[in-house]
Structure 1
Amino acid sequence: MPLRTAILSVLLLPVHSPRHSSPPTVSVLVDANIQYQEVDGFGCSEAFQRAYDIFGKDGLSPENTNYVLDLMFSEERGAGFTILRNGIGSSNSSASNFMDSIEPFSPGSPSAQPHYIWNHNNSGQFPLAQQAYGRGLQTLYGNAWSAPGYMKTNNDENNGGYLCGVSNATCATGNWMQAYANYLVQWARFYEESGVKVTNIGFLNEPQLDVTYASMLSDGTQAAEFIRVLAKTIKASGLDLKINCCDGVGWQEQEAMLPGLQAGPDPAVNYLSVITGHGYSSVPNFTLSTHLKTWMTEWADLTGDYTPYTFYENGGPGEGLTWARNIQVAFVSANVSAFLYWEGAENSTSNSALINMIGNTVVPSKRFWAFAQFSKFARPGARRVEATSTDPLLTVSSFLNRDGNVAIQVISAATTVYTIDLQLKGSDGKSWVQPYLTDNAHNLTQLSPFQMSREGTFTTSIPALSMVSFVVA
């Protein structure tokens, strides 16, 4: 059976909840009158030439290319991701998985006329952005892992090094801060002139790490120095670009950069729109010390195990239930406004992507369906609202969308079926409830709808080790 047919047939299966003589009953309260952070969206990246995988580099057919794009970016036919993180390349080579630079070779000095190159491809990411926008993308985040090597203290895009000109980073070639700001703005201008809007731009990725691939070191003070230059350059360019910083390797590491961004008579934080961090070395389970929006912009299971079909087996790092909880905790405990996995799709038998492509076979993982349980129903502009449960084995989150619909996510870590008594306050007369189920046997399965009482209550069952999203409309 072709994969697409197989998946669609699963979506039509009825739910069979485990039998239990006396299911425990849990009370869930959702109050849409108590509102928290705004949702900007969910998404992924296809950096380091992964975009080429989607466009058939390893045998994916044009039909399945469209299928993968729909799975990721179509609200109607897939998860409806609205944020794409494109890498701003720094390499003078396309070998391996390097990302092309728009200025591959040094112009000679920071003040020399730059020699920019634009190929309308950008390591496959430009056509990907076009396709994503055509399916409902709202936010394109251009993020550089490093400045070109000739702008850095180590004269290498890889292996760390600092941007020439920031504190404690003096180079014989001079101060490259303005040239790097011009470089980033030109990258965004090339996109815009070619019909694709870049909304957000960032200049660092995991600046705590000195690694063998594209990387650049920075502390908060050094980042602040460059942000002031970048902000002035953007203003002079006339482009409408928001600045993100700093994609720390972990949430604690990003927190540690904030004092440098907030210090001085001209705090760099005043020029930022979003604080960004990753989940690798420390997870997003607390609110960062900032008034700005925060995004979790990269995290994945990089252990090497391949668990695409498992929602829950033993709580492993690649399982769907694990990622459902990661997302929920990030929104509820860390107050993030966006959550991005590392790669959306790649030709690989690992968990570093949400969707595996193997030749012409497409395998959406349970992680993907866990993401879709959130992203499909908590749309940009929604507000997270108060949601509580009386049992720690059933955790909840909820979002009030702009159209008045309320999305409620219930995640069960229990090994038996539970009954929930749910009360919804502030639903503005909404009464119909549409549930969707993901577990080991179901992938975003649409269950039978039912009507909520006039008092805003309903009682239903939650299968063991599952996630159910209730959309109240």
Structure 2
Amino acid sequence: MSTRRRLSNSCIIASVLSLLIGPTNGATVSSTPAQTFSGVGGSGAWWPMDLFHFPEAARQNLSDLLFSATGLGLSSYRWNIGGGGVNVSNPVRAPETFYVAPGVYDWNKDAQGVYFLNAAAKRGVPSLTAFVNSAPAPMTAGKTSCNSQFVTGSGAAYGTFLADVLSHFRGQGINISYISPMNEPDSSFGPSPCGQEGMQVVPNQRAEVVRELYKALSAKGLQGTVGILADESSSLSNARNEYASWLPQVINQVAALVHHTYDFPSDDSYASYASNVRSLFPGKITWMSEVCCSLGNADGSGRGWSQGYDPTIKNALMFSGMVFQSFLVANEPHYDDGLIYYDSQYAQNGNFQLYLTKHFWTFKHFGNFVKPGSQRHEITGSDANRSTLAVSTSTTYNIIAMNPGNSDTTLTLTFPDATCAGQAFRTSASEDFATVAGAARSGNNWVLSLRAMSLTTFVFNRRSC
């Protein structure tokens, strides 16, 4: 379901007090880490094709908004390796391919995507992933970049192509650490002419793709430094129904099981998927790598695929709920999203403005405070565990708390060790990651004020006041 444009306008971050502002909910932060995070990121499709043509100042501004600490501070970035765009009617979704012939490449292609890949690398984004919607057109069944299928027996050639691309860019100092050879392989994105690139890889072909890619990486000595991600199914239901038929053959060659959530799953459905993966593939992590373009309510009701546009806090909190769902319900350590908009008619009207929605500002809470190596601690008591995230580093606890309701409330929190409240940052209908009053002490507890329809991060230093 990649029929959307990332970063585009069609789809391109005490007791007295509690009596005054509403009910108090008590909760306790566990002393034992429940998981270690690996990244919060965004995807480079399809917006680089347009944004590359913006003035250099705008491109640099965008790169800072995405990758610098003053912006989202993303710790992960997905770069799209193009298939050449053959039979794709929308040029924005038809990235160039480096492939010329077996072993022959034109590294001047895809200047658009490479520009922002470089921008991420230069700003120190620690996790860079290359992902593919379609193999180079000459390798597919229909010799096109969409409405076609992977050819059984071509895995060695395809794997060699991808390994050569990775080797080239790593040699340029761009240390891509993951490769995803299939992106929504459940669809070819036909009929032709297509709206975007896509290559169907049916389940009984997917083991070949992974196995031959692993061999190609091994031939270049990259098998220990570049992990293979699979299979980026468009929905949890597709992933769950298809894993068992092919994944056991190559599970030891897969670094993580990566999926999209265009089925906008319920908590029960997400938990069932995670439980199924743990049962079939113990110790193998999953993460969510792509979703966008949903309308709905702050409490998560009404979610579903659409191409509507809602820049308000309501939509931002709905998507924040999906981040909480991935981290808390499925225990996933990695999440990717997309959330800046621009005018797709820029070439005609000269409008190079970037539009920051409330979704950008709420996602900044996760990008700034959920860093690789930080750890999540369970929160028990009341219902805080589904709307509150406790993230620890060696020196801080960062509490990201959402209130999707229409009334102000408070959360009383107890920590397992000495803490001292620091700053707090809030995004609401009237605030964009604004600095606000930190938590207030109440005996051995801390009281966190949660404004209606808001997301707030409270920083606590791990020391006595």
TM over 0.5: yes
Correspondence 1:85-100 to 2 at 5 A: 85-91=78-84, 96-97=91-92, 98-100=94-96
Q: Are 1:257 and 2:257 matched, yes or no?
A: no
Q: Which residue identity lines up with residue 415 of structure 2 in the other structure?
A: L
Q: Are 1:364 and 2:367 matched, yes or no?
A: no
Name the SS for the 1:72 alignment partner: helix
Deviations 1:395-440 (A, max 9, x none): 2122222x332111111122111122111224xx331332111111
Offset, 1:245? 0.5
TM (norm. structure 2) is 0.82
Counterpart in 1 of 2:232? Answer: 247
Gaps of 5+ in 1: 1-17, 108-112, 166-174, 313-318, 351-356
Gaps of 5+ in 2: 1-16, 295-305
Counterpart in 2 of 1:62? Answer: 56
Q: Are 1:42 and 2:40 matched, yes or no?
A: yes
Q: Are 1:51 and 2:51 matched, yes or no?
A: no
Counterpart in 1 of 2:316? Answer: 320
TM (norm. structure 1) is 0.80
Contact 1:126 1:191 in 2 (8 A): no
Offset, 1:345? 4.0
Contact 1:27 1:389 in 2 (8 A): yes
Counterpart in 2 of 1:306? Answer: 309
Offset, 1:394? 7.5
Instruction: Mark the CA change 1:334 to 1:219 in structure 2 (over 3 Å): closer, same or farther.
Output: farther
Instruction: Mark the CA change 1:358 to 1:307 in structure 2 (over 3 Å): closer, same or farther.
Output: farther
1:159 counterpart (144, 147, 157): 147
Offset, 1:446? 1.3
Instruction: Mark the CA change 1:255 to 1:418 in structure 2 (over 3 Å): closer, same or farther.
Output: same
Name the SS for the 1:376 alignment partner: helix
Fraction of identical pairs, as percent: 21
Counterpart in 2 of 1:129? Answer: 117
- Aligned-partner Cα distance in 1 for 2:370–2:389: 10
CA RMSD, 1 decimal: 2.7
Offset, 1:21? 4.6
Instruction: Mark the CA change 1:347 to 1:419 in structure 2 (over 3 Å): closer, same or farther.
Output: closer
Counterpart in 1 of 2:154? Answer: 176
Counterpart in 2 of 1:385? Answer: 377
Q: Which residue identity lines up with residue 339 of structure 1 in the other structure?
A: Y
Offset, 1:451? 6.5
Q: Are 1:218 and 2:201 matched, yes or no?
A: yes
Q: Which residue identity lines up with residue 248 of structure 1 in the other structure?
A: S
Instruction: Mark the CA change 1:40 to 1:437 in structure 2 (over 3 Å): closer, same or farther.
Output: same
Contact 1:44 1:340 in 2 (8 A): yes
Offset, 1:67? 2.4
Offset, 1:391? 4.1
2:391 counterpart (392, 399, 424): 399
Q: From the two aligned structures, give the one with the greater helix fraction.
A: 2
1:142 counterpart (94, 113, 130): 130
Q: Are 1:209 and 2:212 matched, yes or no?
A: no
Q: Which moved more, 1:328-337 or 1:404-413?
A: 404-413
Q: Are 1:339 and 2:322 matched, yes or no?
A: no
Q: Which residue identity lines up with residue 413 of structure 1 in the other structure?
A: P
Instruction: Mark the CA change 1:64 to 1:388 in structure 2 (over 3 Å): closer, same or farther.
Output: farther
Name the SS for the 2:257 alignment partner: strand
Q: Are 1:411 and 2:402 matched, yes or no?
A: yes
Offset, 1:238? 1.6
